[in-house]
Each structure stands twice: as C-alpha cells, then as structure tokens.
Amino acid sequence: MKLYALLASALIGVASISPSFAADYKSEYKVSTVVPAPFPWGLAADKWIELVRERSDGRINMKAYPGTQLVAGEQTKEFTAVRKGAIDMSVSSTINWSPQIPEMNIFALPFLIPDYKAMDALTGGPVGEEIFEIVRSKGVEPLAWAENGFRELTNSKREVRSPADLEGMKIRVVGSPLFNDTFTAFGANPAQMSWADAKPALTTGAVDGQENPLTIFTIAKMHLVGQKYVTTWGYVADPLIFAVSHRVWNDFTPEDQEIIRQAAIDAGAYGIEVARKGLTEGDDSLYKEIEGLGVTVTHLTDEERQKFVDASRGVYEKWTEIVGPDLVKKAEESVANR
C-alpha cells in the first residue's frame, strides 16, 4: 500500500507541474520590425519582448531584428516570411502587408481616417476584427494593434498647401501601388523605395520629399537631409500589428499563448501612447520641436485639405473595389459613428 501511495503521490506531482515548464521552446524567437527604438515602432516591439520575458519568468526569449533584416530589407515580403515560419514574430505595418492582404489597404485609402478617434474606431471595432480574421486564416496569429501614426508630408522645395504645389515633385513612397496612385493623382512623381534607401536618396537630392509619421522626422533628423517643409494633412494612418507565425504559435501552451497575447496588448497600448505624444490637441510639443529646427510646419485648413480629398477621390473609388466595398462601407460607418 505504501508503494501505491508513493506512486500516486509522484503522479500527482507530475500532473501539477505546469505544461509551460515542460514545453520545448526555442532559445530565441526572432521579432521582425522596420525601425528600432527610439522610434515608437521599435519601442512597442521592445516593450513586448520585455513583458513576455518577465511574465514567462525568462522561459520565452524574443529578440528584435529591425530594418526588416530578416527579409534583406524588403519590407513588403515580411508577411510571406512570417506565414512560412521563416520569421517567428513581428510588429508590422498594415502597409507592408497590403501586397499579400489587399484588405489592409483600408487604412491607406486617402482621407478615410480624419483623426485618432476614427483610427481607434477602425482598429478597435468590426474592421479590426475582420482584418484579424483574414490574417488568421492565412497562417498568422494577430494579437494586438499598435501605431506608427498619421503619415505627414515633408519636402525640401516649398510649402505645400494644394495639389498644385506638389506638381512634378519627386516624393519617396512605400512599395504599395495605392501610394503610387495617390501621389500621381496629386501631380507628384512618386518614387517607391524602402526606408533604408530613402534617407540616402533625400541626402543626395534624388528625391525631394517623403511621407511618414512626424516622430520619424525628429528621431531621424530629417531636417539635416533637406526636409525644410512639413505639411500636416493626415491623409492616411499606419496601424501596426503584433503577430506570430502559426508554425510557432501552435507550439506554445495555452497558458503561454495568453501571456504572449496580453503582453502584446499592453505593449500596443504603450506604443500608441508614445506614437501620439506631442501630436494631440492637448499636447502639440512635437510640432513646436520641429519648428524649433528651422522647419516650416503648415497645418492645412479644411478648405485646403478638401482640395487633396477631391484630387484623390478617383483613387479612393478605384481602391474601394480592390479592398472590398463591404469592408469600406463598414469602415465609413465606424468613422461616422466614432
């Protein structure tokens, strides 16, 4: 009887050990990002890594690989690499994944998203849920949203208040046909290139301007590469998604999946906070900081902004068909009801 009691006790002890500790995990999980800290994008990724390490008691170790170095800098190839398991995890822009997931172009429809409340209504509502379902169906587990921010225009030539001011100006844009169509509609000459190639091109004058969140302007010191004019127009937003390849995700225990997901949610909230710092009605310190660099910051009036809306309406209608009219309608309703 004593022997049976000892065996039973041993079995109970084994059963009580958390399956998390029994899992055979990688020594390191690679996390792909485009930019590192101190950019908000990189800060969000680092916070995710930090929280997962803490909450798993060091059992799950992740490392950020910025510059999309895991895909040789080819930003638009990142989703395919995550789906195939060549990349374990990522904090990724919807823009960079849009070539493989057309529905993600919803966030880049020109002038769909007028403010932060509208952005939150999309990512936190039915549109965000549908995007996550699509990503999940393609072999990648989406966990949470973060934010790169509204993409504003900078250039080295002149103040831009109307599409006529962009006429013939060479503007670096991301590798998405939608961005090419939008800037062509404005009369500009769009040049698609990765961020790694953009700064050298601006330095040499090969391109005149670019569009990006203003946090990038100060951290990357864009005023030193000739970017003397900024136009705030909020023409598109750039949400970020925390994601894990299903080939990796399915190896985690349910307990650890919850740790990783909640850490992403918390890191995403932090990322959104730092991405918006200095750019809200209650805090415009980033605009003032940029002006302090000798840069002209132009805030479009409603009438001026409408000229760009009108110029890009054909692009909006064309890409509504590509994104999906039902999803666009859902997005428009979410924005209207924000």
Q: Do 78 and 196 fall into the same domain?
A: no
State the sign of the Cα–Cα–Cα–Cα dihedral 185, 187, 189, 190.
negative
Domain assignment of residue 266, given as a range: 26-149+239-276
Q: Do 270 and 225 fall into the same domain?
A: no
Predicted pLDDT at 195: 84
Q: Do 205 and 222 fall into the same domain?
A: yes
Q: Is 0.85 topped by the overall pTM?
A: yes
Residue 22 has pLDDT above 70, yes or no: no
Q: Do 76 and 224 fall into the same domain?
A: no
Structural domain contains residue 268: yes
Predicted pLDDT at 196: 84
Residue 21 has pLDDT above 60, yes or no: no
Q: Over the stretch 258-281, which tens digit does the pLDDT of each residue have?
A: 999 999 999 999 999 999 999 998
Q: Over the stretch 280-319, which tens digit does the pLDDT of each residue have?
A: 988 999 999 999 999 999 999 999 999 999 999 999 999 9
Q: Domain tally for the chain? A: 2
Q: Do 60 and 198 fall into the same domain?
A: no
User: Where residue 84 sits, what CATH number does that domain have?
Assistant: 3.40.190.170
Structural domain contains residue 206: yes
Structural domain contains residue 5: no
Q: Do 203 and 94 fall into the same domain?
A: no
